[in-house]
Amino acid sequence: MALRDLSHPIRDGMMVYPGDPAVSVGPALTLAADGVAVARIGMGSHTGTHVDAPAHTVPGGRTMADVHLDELVGDAVVLRVPTAAEGRPYGWDELVCEGGVPPELPPIVIIDTGWARWFGGERALRHPFLRPDAVRELMRRGMRVLGVDTLSPDPTDAASVDFPVHEVVLGGDGLIVENLRGLEDLPPRVRVGFFPLRLDGDGAPVRAVAFL
């Protein structure tokens, strides 16, 4: 069995969602001065490839302490959006899956827009985004974890407080995994695992893995 890392590496100064804490990674102790090397890391809970818990947007929602690992590991369906366009919404009819979108989905659904290639640059902010009616249909068919290769399944706008897809998924007690990468040639069904840091909060960085 081969493993594929679907995560962006965490680096000093890396891209974050507008308004989130900047990422700083630097030496705290050094071999030369202290006999050991230890890094000092500063970042927000939604850095890089990460999972949103319901508490991210839902008052009183579950925190990461309430999220079980088995919710984030399992079979996934990979949906593709060949029509994805800069700054444009995509809907149900644009979600492509070999053989069609199954009438019953596994709990994990991954959407590949191809936008991961722009992560780290200004164009990443102008990613395509999912229509709320499409995500409601995904939830109706059994999805509980939505994975995307963009900064958000909603439009990225630092001034906006409107997150309709988050409201549907997190409001339904589901989870969202953002900033996936390496999705372009995954099979339509694949086993994945999203392994978060054990933080009690609104979200956590994950090591995302596909088991091929």
Distance of CA 63 to the CA centre of its chain: 16
Count the neighbouring beta carbons within 10 Å of the beta carbon of residue 29: 13
Q: Is the pLDDT score of 158 beyond 70?
A: no
Tally of domains within the chain? 1
Global pTM?
0.96
Over residues 6-31, the mean pLDDT reads 97
**49-91, pLDDT tens digit by residue?**
999 999 999 999 999 999 999 999 999 999 999 999 999 999 9
Average pLDDT over residues 30-34: 97
pLDDT surpasses 80 at 163: yes
Look up the CATH number of the domain holding residue 26. 3.50.30.50
Percent of the chain with pLDDT over 90: 95
Q: What pLDDT does residue 183 have?
A: 98
Query: Which is it for strands 108-112 and 145-148: parallel, antiparallel or unpaired?
Result: parallel
Residues 200-209, mean pLDDT to the nearest whole number: 97
Range of the domain at 148: 3-211
